[in-house]
């Protein structure tokens, strides 16, 4: 029987297994999780002939090195980065054949933050609550990759795409996030709400899969009270005591006691995955009826 597996030679700064996540379990305290840049994950799956929900690898900043035990087709997308097979340059954003025992190297991001590695057959670790995603907050799913780990692969179910390079959006030079104000914007002064929607913030180096943290002016509260814990949604912009907005991402807590000044439009969340520290951030208010 062919050995369908990947050996992790270099795990990189943070490489995790991700798919579409595990929605529908917030009442159990379980976040959705899943790929932060969902369109990039879906694209690399399409390039290698996988179903859209197959599990891929999500790398952070400096990529990873992998050695398949059988010949596979891979595609790397998301953050632009150098790709090589046994030291020879290979295409980024396109299907690449990697022979058994060859070394696939996914290098440091040239721009952006997270690269996605799709492998024919998908990463076939054991699912938890219907998903193979690593959840850094709850600890569900497989642990982040470490050197020497072995990842099982599924059987290929389709043919890889016939393209030279697939078009992908560039990482944002400026992160513009459409927001719907509320439900707790009335907990802030009018000047604070105005600052939130007009000031240019910057992505903090403390950002992670749980939340995109920002640097900029603190938002002053209009009330000094404390909220009881309430449900948190993906894209909620929570304001902790330091007054600096935090955008909740895939591994966010499902409840929280700090006020939520706004919620980010779902269509703008994938770009947060590729916003490097220092990237300017603007919060632009839109009407709730906006498409």
Q: Which residues pair with 18 in a beta bridge?
A: 56
Establish if 94 belongs to a structural domain: yes
Average pLDDT, the chain: 95
Residues in the chain where the model's pLDDT stays below 70 = 1-2, 289-291
Establish if 167 belongs to a structural domain: no
Q: Are residues 10 and 145 in the same domain?
A: yes
Establish if 199 belongs to a structural domain: yes
Establish if 165 belongs to a structural domain: no
Across the beta sheet with 16-18, the strand order is 16-18, 56-58, 115-119, 72-78, 96-98
CATH number at residue 188: 2.40.100.10
Establish if 89 belongs to a structural domain: yes
* pLDDT on residue 289: 59
- Cα gap 249→227, rounded to integer Å: 21
The count of C-alpha atoms lying within 13 angstroms of the C-alpha of 255, restricted to the half-sphere facing its C-beta, is: 9
* pLDDT on residue 2: 63
* pLDDT on residue 291: 47
Structural domain span for residue 129: 5-152
Q: Are residues 100 and 40 in the same domain?
A: yes
- Strand, helix or coil for residue 214: strand
Question: Rounded to 5 degrees, what are φ and ψ at 86?
Answer: 50, 40
Q: How many domains does the chain have?
A: 2
Q: Are residues 201 and 276 in the same domain?
A: yes
- Cα gap 68→115, rounded to integer Å: 18
- Strand, helix or coil for residue 212: strand
Establish if 34 belongs to a structural domain: yes
Q: Are residues 59 and 95 in the same domain?
A: yes
Rg (CA), the chain: 20
Span 33-63, pLDDT tens digits: 999 999 999 999 999 999 999 999 999 999 9
Token pair in block for residue 131: 């998903």
pTM: 0.95
Q: Are residues 52 and 122 in the same domain?
A: yes
- Cα gap 280→206, rounded to integer Å: 15
Q: Are residues 13 and 70 in the same domain?
A: yes
Q: Are residues 139 and 190 in the same domain?
A: no
Q: Are residues 18 and 128 in the same domain?
A: yes
């Amino acid at each position: 029987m062919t050995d369908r597996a990947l050996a992790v030679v270099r795990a990189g700064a943070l490489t995790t297994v991700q798919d579409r996540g595990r929605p529908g379990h917030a009442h159990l305290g379980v976040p959705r999780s899943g790929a932060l840049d969902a369109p990039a994950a879906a694209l690399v799956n399409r390039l290698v002939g996988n179903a859209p929900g197959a599990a891929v690898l999500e790398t952070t900043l400096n990529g990873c090195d992998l050695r398949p035990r059988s010949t596979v087709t891979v595609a790397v997308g998301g953050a632009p980065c150098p790709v090589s097979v046994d030291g020879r340059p290979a295409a980024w954003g396109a299907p690449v054949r990697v022979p058994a025992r060859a070394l696939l190297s996914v290098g440091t991001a040239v721009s952006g933050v997270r690269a996605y590695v799709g492998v024919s057959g998908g990463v076939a670790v054991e699912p938890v609550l219907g998903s193979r995603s690593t959840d850094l907050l709850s600890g569900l799913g497989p642990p982040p990759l470490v050197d020497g780990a072995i990842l099982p692969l599924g059987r290929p179910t389709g043919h890889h795409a016939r393209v030279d390079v697939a078009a992908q959006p560039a990482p944002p030079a400026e992160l513009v996030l459409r927001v719907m104000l509320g439900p707790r914007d009335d907990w802030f002064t009018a000047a604070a709400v105005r600052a939130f929607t007009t000031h240019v913030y910057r992505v903090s180096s403390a950002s992670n899969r749980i939340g995109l943290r920002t640097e900029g002016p603190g938002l002053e509260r209009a009330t000094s009270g404390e909220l009881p814990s309430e449900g948190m949604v993906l894209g909620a912009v929570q304001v902790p005591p330091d007054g600096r907005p935090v955008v909740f991402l895939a591994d966010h807590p499902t409840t929280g006691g700090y006020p939520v000044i706004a919620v980010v439009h779902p269509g703008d969340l994938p770009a947060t995955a590729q916003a490097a520290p220092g990237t300017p951030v603007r919060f632009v208010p839109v009407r709730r009826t906006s498409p």
